[in-house]
């Protein structure tokens, strides 16, 4: 029994170490330091809230209201009611809750739509609550995906 325990101890230690490493927040490397970061670095955290130490950034406007605004304000959607596509946008939010960067991660199939969505979001002045890691407000990145079916956008 002791020999079996001695044999298994390194594997148990490795397993428990890998479990704690999986719970660390995801680090995202940016192409360059974004002006306005509280801690100038090329890395920010992408928080999911699945770990009790993480609180993801939160926009003060909910997804339903943002979806309504996008659907009513984007001319591309009005002019192309049969369009289908999907995409993803990422936002860099500093420790003060200020949006300091936007980027497209996954572009839809139409450049005009991509440009219009990004331009629309960049000119909005949505308030954000900063993300937190271990109760400390941090620079973080928040990503959301969208899907367009029959000319109607839905945030995922």
Kindly list the domain boundaries of the chain, sorted by start residue: 23-155
pLDDT at 22: 52
pTM score, two decimals? 0.77
pLDDT tens for each residue of 61-79: 999 999 999 999 999 999 9
pLDDT tens for each residue of 95-112: 999 999 998 888 888 999
Q: How far apart are CA 72 and CA 76, in angstroms?
A: 10
Has residue 59 got a pLDDT over 50? yes
Q: Where are the alpha helices (DSSP H) in the chain?
A: 2-22, 63-73, 75-79, 111-123
Has residue 47 got a pLDDT over 70? yes
Angle at 119 between CA 95 and CA 124, to 5 degrees: 50
Q: How far apart are CA 21 and CA 75, in angstroms?
A: 45
């Amino acid at each position: 029994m002791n020999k079996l325990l001695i044999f298994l101890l390194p594997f148990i230690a490795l397993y428990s170490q890998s479990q704690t490493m999986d719970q660390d927040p995801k680090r995202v490397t940016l192409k360059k330091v974004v002006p306005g970061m509280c801690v100038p670095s090329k890395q920010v955290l992408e928080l999911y809230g699945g770990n009790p130490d993480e609180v993801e950034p939160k926009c003060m406007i909910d997804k339903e209201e943002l979806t309504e605004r996008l659907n009513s304000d984007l001319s591309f959607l009005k002019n192309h009611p049969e369009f289908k596509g999907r995409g993803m946008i990422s936002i860099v939010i500093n420790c003060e809750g200020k949006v300091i960067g936007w980027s497209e991660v996954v572009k839809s199939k139409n450049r005009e739509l991509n440009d219009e969505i990004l331009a629309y979001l960049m000119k909005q002045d949505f308030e954000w609550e900063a993300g937190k890691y271990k109760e400390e407000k941090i620079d973080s990145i928040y990503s959301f995906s969208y899907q367009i079916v029959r000319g109607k956008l839905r945030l995922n």
